[in-house]
Amino acid sequence: MSETTETTEMTEPFEKTKPTKTSETTEITKMNEITKPIKTSETTEIDEHTLYSDGYITVTSKELIIKNYYFPFAGSLTIPLTEIISVDNADDLNLGLLSMKEWGMPLSNIWFALDFTRSFRPKEKIGVVKVKNQWIRKGFSVKDVRGIDTLKRAWSDVNNQNNQ
């Protein structure tokens, strides 16, 4: 009994292709603490409307996407900028270590998205947003302080457009 193996060679050289936008975005409706549906997105597209993006958040001209927000499956939370009341960092709010957590709610009314290195970050790289009609604020980290600055500018721009 003889074994034969076939080898195939690639006839075309490997080509690097430019990634294309995918439209495979899974949207799930979840209920927040006051049973108001909010949109969450399992995958995030980066396009020309993206102002800032890192492993923790994405800021577009219309929304803030907080990645790894929901426990235990780490789903993303999408918040329209028009629904945000305030944008601060942990330094502005004078948050101490007991007021922050790697994931979940510490001894404050802030639910933090997943970041196991949060306690080692400067407070300027930890953001907190307050959302209309919700008593629980949303906390997140950023890799660069520009992320929170970009969010503040985008939020301010949206509020100025709505007030005109």
Task: State how many domains the chain has.
Answer: 1
Per-residue pLDDT tens for 67-103?
Answer: 999 999 999 999 999 999 999 999 999 998 889 999 9
Instruction: Classify residue 4: in a domain, yes or no.
Output: no
Instruction: Classify residue 10: in a domain, yes or no.
Output: no
Instruction: Classify residue 12: in a domain, yes or no.
Output: no
Which CATH number covers residue 68?
2.30.29
Q: Which domain holds residue 130?
A: 27-163
Does residue 70 contact residue 32 with C-beta atoms inside 8 Å? no
Instruction: Classify residue 42: in a domain, yes or no.
Output: yes
Instruction: Classify residue 17: in a domain, yes or no.
Output: no
Per-residue pLDDT tens for 57-67?
Answer: 999 999 999 99
**pLDDT value of residue 26:** 35
**pLDDT value of residue 13:** 40
**pLDDT value of residue 98:** 86
What is the value of pTM for the model shown?
0.71
Compute the distance between CA of residue 148 and CA of residue 72 in angstroms, rounded to an integer.
25
Instruction: Classify residue 102: in a domain, yes or no.
Output: yes
Structure tokens at 115: 């970041």
Instruction: Classify residue 18: in a domain, yes or no.
Output: no
Does residue 40 contact residue 77 with C-beta atoms inside 8 Å? yes
Instruction: Classify residue 6: in a domain, yes or no.
Output: no
